[in-house]
Amino acid sequence: MGQGALLCSTFQAITIHPPILICFLCSKHPSSAVTTTHQTQMVRFFSYVTAISFLFFLQLLSYSLAARPAPTPSEMATETLNATWHNFSKFLDAPRGSQLLGMSDLKLYFHRFGYLLPKRKINTTVTFSDEFDEEFESAVVEYQKRLGLETTGKLDKDTMETIMAPRCGMSDAAVHPSPAGLTKQLHTTQHFSYFYGKPRWTRPSPINLSYAFSPDHTLDYLTSKQVKAAFAAAFARWAAVIPVSFHPTEDYRSADVTIGFFKGDHGDGEPFDGVLGVLGHAFSPENGRFHLDASERWAVDLSEEKSKVAVDLESVATHEIGHVLGLAHSSVKEAIMYPSLKPRTKKVDLRIDDVEGVQALYGSNPNFKLSSLYESDMYSNGTRTTTLTYLNRHFLLLLMMLLLIVIRQ
Ligand SMILES: [Zn+2]
Ligand SMILES: [Zn+2]
């Protein structure tokens, strides 16, 4: 029995007049009777099928537009990377044991962010080999753990995209996990962390910190008012959860937190690297130095700023204030203290991980309720779930409609 005959059998089970479908679907039954009533039913049936298929196609189209796949490293390279990190895309899926020209630069990246110790120093300059050796594989595994990635030990797509994404210049190492972090580590590697020694601002509570902007290291395309507004919003997010307040001052020299936009080597041993790459850095308590890379295209309103490489100022400010307060990087991707941030992305809401981390240092603001944040996080997770099941629900509805129509024929 051929496929056509099988189709006919199927339709015989659900239609009143199987010969009609046999004629359409199976040319092996040309002798089957075809009446005018049958033809009318047939046309009606396929009209419904066509209409429903079209609706389903529209659903699929809207879904695919709403959730486009992540760009490949090469796509990212043209839009979101600085020149140095752009070159790393050639190491995608490089196997262990391979010897690839320039791999030493990728190892320097791992060294810079706290994952690889140098074996060789030439005139105090750290150098690495171009071999994907066992030590480098261990560094990749550690990096994947700290960045909340699947721990494959390979330079897979997710890992390469994360490596090449713009990020904070602070190292991911030299951290001092909290007791809560260590407890969580038994079950998962995802948690907040502190700088080594767990430094914090130690003045008596309630702590009031002043902040000021460098009069010399500014941007010429944003007004002082715009920059100050972005920072005021960022400071307010932290002040809402801990008993620490912040106030602006014009006295840059005596301020607790000193903020400025700097280019390249600016004298603190952590030179900036041009467009994207490292976006900024801030020192641990009670240093207060807070530097942003003046080469970035900083945005205070992404709907107005059209640059493909624009970086949201308030998002980075909120992250760096976390460092000023004593938080190191988190491996929770949604957390403010996660080290990387894609261009044209606004990410300013503190997550439970951030709040738990900073409250373990300073205690809770009496006006803040952690339960409300839990609800907020659950709500955002629920929104994602709803989006993912939206298509399934509608598809089932369409299938039910189709069955009802067929049964009524
Ligand atoms: Zn950082
Ligand atoms: Zn600096």
* CATH number of the domain enclosing 351: 3.40.390.10
320 is catalytic: yes
Please tell me the predicted confidence (pLDDT) of residue 400.
66
Are residues 109 and 250 both part of a single domain? no
pLDDT for position 173: 83
Question: What total number of domains does the chain contain?
Answer: 2
Which helix (H) or strand (E) covers residue 143, if one does?
Answer: helix 134-146
User: Which of 134, 320, 356, 375 is labelled catalytic?
Assistant: 320
Q: Is residue 4 part of a domain?
A: no
pLDDT tens readout for residues 204-232: 988 999 999 999 999 999 999 999 999 99
pLDDT in tens, 168-177: 999 998 576 5
Q: What is the mean pLDDT of residues 229-236?
A: 98
pLDDT at 179 over 60: no
Judging by beta carbons within 10 Å of its beta carbon (0-12, 13-18, 19+), is residue 321 exposed, middle or buried? Answer: buried
Q: Do 200 and 142 belong together in one domain?
A: no
**Is residue 159 a part of any domain in this protein?**
yes
Among all bound ligands, the one having the nearest atom to the CA of 316 is: 1
156 band by pLDDT with thresholds 50, 70 and 90 = very high
User: Could you tell me if 136 and 265 lie in one domain?
Assistant: no
Is 97 domain-assigned?
yes
- Is 207 in the same domain as 346? yes
| Cβ partners under 8 Å of residue 184, min gap 6 | 190, 191
Do residue 228 and residue 104 come from a single domain? Answer: no
Q: What is the mean pLDDT of residues 270-292?
A: 96
Nearest-angstrom CA–CA distance, 14 and 130: 66
Residues annotated within the binding site are 168, 220, 256, 266, 268, 273-274, 281, 291, 293, 296, 319, 323, 329, 337
Query: Is 298 a member of any domain?
Result: yes
Task: Evaluate whether 267 touches 387 at the Cβ level (below 8 Å).
Answer: no
As annotated, the binding site for Zn(2+) includes: 168, 266, 268, 281, 291, 319, 323, 329, 337
- For the cut 60, the answer to whether the pLDDT of residue 121 exceeds it is yes
pLDDT at 81 over 90: no
Share the mean pLDDT of the chain: 79
Other Cβ atoms less than 10 A from the Cβ of 278: the count is 23
Rounded CA separation 306/221 (Å): 13
Q: Are residues 212 and 137 both part of a single domain? A: no
Where a domain ends, among 146, 164, 182?
A: 164
pLDDT value of position 136? 97
Does residue 247 share a domain with residue 110?
Answer: no
For 60-75, what is each residue's pLDDT tens digit? 444 444 344 444 444 4
When pLDDT is averaged across residues 35-45 and rounded to a whole number, the result is 58
pLDDT at 23 over 90: no
Instruction: Calculate the alpha carbon distances from 180 to 93, 185, 192 in Å.
Output: 35, 8, 9
pLDDT in tens, 361-379: 999 999 998 777 776 665 4
The predicted pLDDT at position 405 comes to 65
Q: How far is the CA of 318 from the centre of ligand 1 (A)?
A: 10
Note the pLDDT of residue 299.
98
Q: Same domain for 198 and 148?
A: no
pTM of the predicted model as reported, rounded to 2 decimal places: 0.72
- Give the structural domain span for 235: 193-383
Q: Any residues with CB less than 8 A from the CB of 363 and at least 6 apart, and which?
A: 205, 242, 243
| pLDDT of the residue at 296 | 97
Q: The CATH number of the domain where 144 resides is what?
A: 1.10.101
Contact by Cβ (8 Å): 320, 284? no
pLDDT at position 281? 98
pLDDT of 369 reads 87
Higher per-residue confidence, 82 vs 359: 359
Is it the case that residue 117 has pLDDT exceeding 60?
yes
Residue 115: inside a domain, yes or no? Answer: yes
Angle formed by the axes of helices 224-239 and 313-325, nearest 10°: 50
78 or 124, which is more confident: 124
Q: What is the pLDDT of residue 7?
A: 38
What is the average pLDDT across 308-331? 97
Q: Residues within 5 Å of ion ligand 2 by Cβ?
A: 268, 270, 291
48 within domain boundaries: no
Distance CA 50, CA 360 (A): 60
205: in domain: yes
Q: Decide which of 395 and 125 is more confident.
A: 125
Q: Which amino acid is at 359?
A: Q
360 and 212 within one domain: yes
Q: Are 209 and 344 found together in one domain?
A: yes
Per-residue pLDDT for 270 more than 80? yes
pLDDT higher for 197 or 122? 197
